Amino acid sequence: MPEIQDQVQVFEAPQLPIPKIEDDPWLRDEQAFFFMLPELLKTLRGKWVAVHNGQVVDVGDSVRDVLLRVRERFPKTEVYIQLVDENLPVIKMRSPRKGWR
């Protein structure tokens, strides 16, 4: 009877690329937001901002309003949207596979 080791195949782990900030527009805009945050806090505290290509492209009182306007202006582009505050919210989303509990 053959040994178990003869029946086991070992594969190398795939080399997955780690995205660089300069290669990912969304990560660049996130970095731009945090770079601009000290100045944004002076004038836009409590507002939601949309950052695209390193610049604030929309400001509003609610994330929904900003999102709707940004989707209209940039329909096929990822745009970074964030609340201007020292204590940034963490948004958790449930997986569609696990369903709501």
Q: pLDDT tens digits for 44-64? A: 999 999 999 999 999 999 999
CA distance 64 to 57: 15
- 7 membership: H or E segment, kind and range: helix 4-7
Is 0.75 topped by the overall pTM?
no
pLDDT in tens, 6-54: 677 777 888 877 767 677 888 899 999 999 999 999 999 999 999 999 9
